[in-house]
Structure 1
Amino acid sequence: MNPFSEYPQYDALGLAQLVQSGEVTAGELLKAAQVRLAEFNPLLNAVVTPMDELAESLVKNLGNRGPFTGVPFLVKDLMLRFAGVTMSNGSVAMKDYRPAADSEMAARLNAAGLITFGKTNNSELGASGLANNAVFCSTCNPWDLSLNSGGSSGGSAAAVATRIVPMAYASDGGGSIRLPASYCGIFGFKPSRGLNRFEDLSKAWGGAVVSHVCTISVRDSAAYLDWVSGNTDQAYSATKPPPQSYLSAATQPAKRLKIALIKQAPVETLIHRDCLSAAAKAAKHCEALGHVVEEAVWNFDGRELMRAFLTVIFYYTTRDVANMAQLLELTEPELAIELNTRLLAAIGKGVSDEQLQQALVVWQRIAARLADFHRRYDIILTPTVAKPPLASDALDPNVVERWLMLGLLATGLADKLFSDRLLDAIISKAVQQTPFTPLANITGQPAMSVPLYWSGDGLPHGAQFMAAAGHDRLLLQLAAQLEQIEPWKHRIPPLCHP
């Protein structure tokens, strides 16, 4: 194998097999990844913090550690601590913060044989649907450099789309894996809540956040889920056999599924025709595979859902900003954070513990309604997003909005604004981009964005599939079927062509 010319052709498991067979070394793969990084990152701004010293150490002390041994890897610069490596969380305030020790997740990634050589860009605290922040600026969409790669895991998605790496760490609190996967034309999977046993995100946005990877192939996503969920362990008794691995499940055809195609957003939102076309094409493929597809409607109050979701975000943004100030030994006014974040945190001070608990009760009620829905349907199919990829400044406040925001903060009364009326005003703007994805974070269900459709202007548009909580294997089986019927591995952005 020529590691420089053939590297982009392989997924992560394929590269690991080459290392295991001796056809290539981990050092050669790292060099190939770094060459692609040097070529494409000046255009994309996907990787913002190099980790070459760690990568060289990992190569030197490699051994045979797991299914991804020797594979170059990138991690999102959000809530993932590597000793001595900047963890900015996309914030100017933390641009010089270097944790003293690895988090358990970082240590596990190192121990898995993955060769982590950089951190990728995201939004400040992962709160925006665009990869754009004041410290590192924006990450460009590899299919159209005038647009954004999507947030908050846009740096990871752009790096995978351009084959700098075949797989990159990402996280998802309201669609932050699936949205950039849709924008960048790759596979993005959000697992069921609580599957990752190495990372406790239960206190991030009330349990809405999970971490996983964005990938080229379905099998890489399945194999990574096996690793973080412990399905590769052998420590099972004779009376409790090991569960079927996610990777093994992905190699088997899905049973005949009943799929609900839902074209309307949970909250009234105009859906772009290309996004609807992506879902329609996915539905036709599912029917061609022998599955039953029926049009359906939601069985819950979408406005109640979004009010509850935003209430939790307000509450936890306040907590996150306070924790940041404590960590940096600064007062909150001294923190160099973005205006949107500062206002969210200020308004969130008006959310009481009782209001938080009421919002979480709504989450539980909607999860129960979806569980009822899944007694009729195995899978829910929707567009992933409501709009094609946006420009990097599309969500920025305009001059008037910025003036109003600064005025509210100056009064010191922003916490008095929290109300259903405020939430409804925010909902009207928030759901214009991502009305479909937060539902799975609220309910804890698995969901995925599958790249099956490219519009006439060359932009990718994902189709989202959701299954009942704990039915991750079912989604991966369907994804593998779709990957066979409509392969996307060869779909590489024009900038990557020789």
Structure 2
Amino acid sequence: MSHDDLCFLSATELAKLIRLKKISSQQVIRAHLDQIERLNPTLNAIVTLTADAAMEQAVTADQKIAANESVGILHGLPVAHKDLFLTRGVRTTFGSLAYQDFVPDVDSLPVERLKKAGAISLGKTNTPEFGAGSQTFNAVFGSTPNPYDLSKTCGGSSGGGAVALASGMIALADGTDLGGSLRNPASFCNLVGIRPSVGRVPSWPESLGWQTMSVSGPMARSVQDLALAMAAMSGPDDRSPISLEAPGEIFLNPLARSFKGCKVAFSANLGGLPVEPEVARVVESSRAVFQEIGCEVINDEPNIAEADEIFMLWRAWRTELRITPLLKEHREQIKDTVIWNAEQGLPITGPQLARAEAKRTELYHRMREFFQKYDFLILPVSQVTPFSIEEEYPAQVNGVKMNTYIDWQKTCYLISALGNPAISVPAGFTDNGLPVGIQIVGRHRDDFGILQLAHAFEQKTLFAQRKPPICKPL
């Protein structure tokens, strides 16, 4: 197989061919390391490379296949881990000068799960400092551009993983999603990215073991590959008090199903949020696709007026807890927006959080009732197209001023406050060739359902097959 074949073949097919001894893990890892050598100097997606260790693991992986040993579902596949995840013996910086030399002695649970499934790590992927913001840059490693246009951002905060995946450097990517960090870069880089249900992919080590806003999950180049990664990463673990009991194997079930008569609520702007015209055009064009696969598409949206206040309060509280202890010694090394968000958490009171949590409970029941009428909610992933890599965040959207560094992605972070699973799937391109994704939100804990609808949409559109211009075959 050619270099290009190995780097862009689906993760599902690569894993199958390795198990059948049609190709070796060493071939696969070598091809991806060559792709990193060729493209990463321009894309800056992989920020810590573990090439020698990866090749050693590939040799062991092939020996297991030769010996007909039982292997995991991701056996021999190249991955890389977001630089927010702890990686035992491998530098983990969180994109911050305060941690630029930190080497942990444990793996985060998502990393542990991928390794157990047989995946081989090629290193760490770039992220904004502490994952704050959907523009991937930091003072340790610099910026990661969009592979479809190097003058634009790839989004974030799982931006490095998205770019490495889109450009064929890895077969699957992992990441986290607080306010859109798996969905936004997927949308900007023509990938699929899922925000799983809370507890679906357990987190550990985690100082906030009961927190329900930030989640971990995968990105992929196809929905089938995303389901494969979910099968590896999901399932219960007693180190996480909120992990769900359902086993990861549920995501290995067939994705194909009939959507005849399925009722879908379609919202172009989630209650009047400003949306760029090119985003609106692509999102509107998706309506016909959902109708073609059998869905009844109805213009409607839930009343989630309190979601903004809830998200911003809990985000500030969480940021204050994690960042304030660092400010005494490292304030000059931390970016202004992170400090601002941490200081927003200082005056928050117990009664404020209690009322926010009561409102969030009301929102849960309102969404539960909304999904008694509809099977899914469709809306934009992001309100903007990929913007200049020189901008930290958009100052305005369609003429409306943005007050904070995350206001422009409310279509993502308001969904985070609801707790429902959501997926980004490629929906088309702007006139300038920039990717735009559509967001599918499902019922409480219906992660498999949103994968099925995203799969049906993907099969009709085939947008995911388009590669970035930088990835011309050798």
**Taking structure 2 as the reference length, what is the TM-score of the superposition?**
0.89
Match in the other structure for 1:143: 148
Partners in 1 of 2:375 and 2:207 — Cα distance? 26
> 1:374-393 to 2 correspondence within 5 Å?
374-393=371-390
Partners in 1 of 2:155 and 2:394 — Cα distance? 17
Match in the other structure for 2:415: 440
Match in the other structure for 1:455: 430
Deviation at 1:454, TM superposition (A): 0.8
Is residue 203–residue 216 contact of structure 2 (8 Å, CA) maintained in 1?
A: no
Aligned residues: 454
Match in the other structure for 1:34: 33
Distance change (3 Å), C-alpha of 1:88 and 1:333? closer
Match in the other structure for 2:72: 66
Is residue 279–residue 464 contact of structure 1 (8 Å, CA) maintained in 2?
A: no
Partners in 2 of 1:269 and 1:132 — Cα distance? 26
Partners in 2 of 1:332 and 1:371 — Cα distance? 46
2:106 aligned with 1:107, yes or no? no
> 1:172-321 to 2 correspondence within 5 Å?
172-197=177-202, 199=204, 203=208, 206-230=211-235, 245-254=250-259, 256-266=261-271, 268-301=272-305, 304-321=306-323
Distance change (3 Å), C-alpha of 1:246 and 1:270? same
Partners in 2 of 1:363 and 1:469 — Cα distance? 14
Partners in 1 of 2:347 and 2:181 — Cα distance? 26
> 1:418-433 to 2 correspondence within 5 Å?
428-430=403-405, 432-433=407-408
Partners in 1 of 2:142 and 2:96 — Cα distance? 10
Match in the other structure for 2:67: none
CA offsets 1:255-282 (integer angstroms, 9 cap, x no match):
531011111234x432111111222122
Match in the other structure for 2:240: none
Is residue 205–residue 313 contact of structure 1 (8 Å, CA) maintained in 2?
A: no
Is residue 168–residue 215 contact of structure 1 (8 Å, CA) maintained in 2?
A: yes
Is residue 12–residue 225 contact of structure 2 (8 Å, CA) maintained in 1?
A: yes
- Could you list the runs of 5+ residues in structure 2 that have no partner in the other structure? 65-69, 237-244
Partners in 1 of 2:187 and 2:374 — Cα distance? 24
Distance change (3 Å), C-alpha of 1:86 and 1:241? closer
Partners in 1 of 2:137 and 2:359 — Cα distance? 31
Partners in 2 of 1:102 and 1:463 — Cα distance? 33
CA offsets 1:430-460 (integer angstroms, 9 cap, x no match):
5652121113321221111110211211111
Match in the other structure for 2:470: 495
2:88 aligned with 1:83, yes or no? yes
Moved more, 432-441 or 116-125: 432-441
**Taking structure 1 as the reference length, what is the TM-score of the superposition?**
0.85
2:458 aligned with 1:477, yes or no? no
Partners in 2 of 1:179 and 1:205 — Cα distance? 25
Letter in 1 for 2:343: A
- Could you list the runs of 5+ residues in structure 1 that have no partner in the other structure? 232-239, 399-424
Partners in 2 of 1:362 and 1:241 — Cα distance? 28
* Structural RMSD (CA): 2.5
Distance change (3 Å), C-alpha of 1:209 and 1:218? same
Partners in 2 of 1:139 and 1:437 — Cα distance? 21
Is residue 122–residue 153 contact of structure 1 (8 Å, CA) maintained in 2?
A: yes
Is residue 364–residue 443 contact of structure 1 (8 Å, CA) maintained in 2?
A: no
Match in the other structure for 1:418: none
Is residue 202–residue 209 contact of structure 1 (8 Å, CA) maintained in 2?
A: no
1:168 to 164, 173, 189: 173
Deviation at 1:427, TM superposition (A): 6.8
Distance change (3 Å), C-alpha of 1:494 and 1:138? same
Is residue 202–residue 216 contact of structure 2 (8 Å, CA) maintained in 1?
A: no
Distance change (3 Å), C-alpha of 1:77 and 1:426? farther
Letter in 2 for 1:316: R
CA offsets 1:36-92 (integer angstroms, 9 cap, x no match):
1111111111111112243234224333431110001111111x2112211111111
Partners in 2 of 1:274 and 1:293 — Cα distance? 21
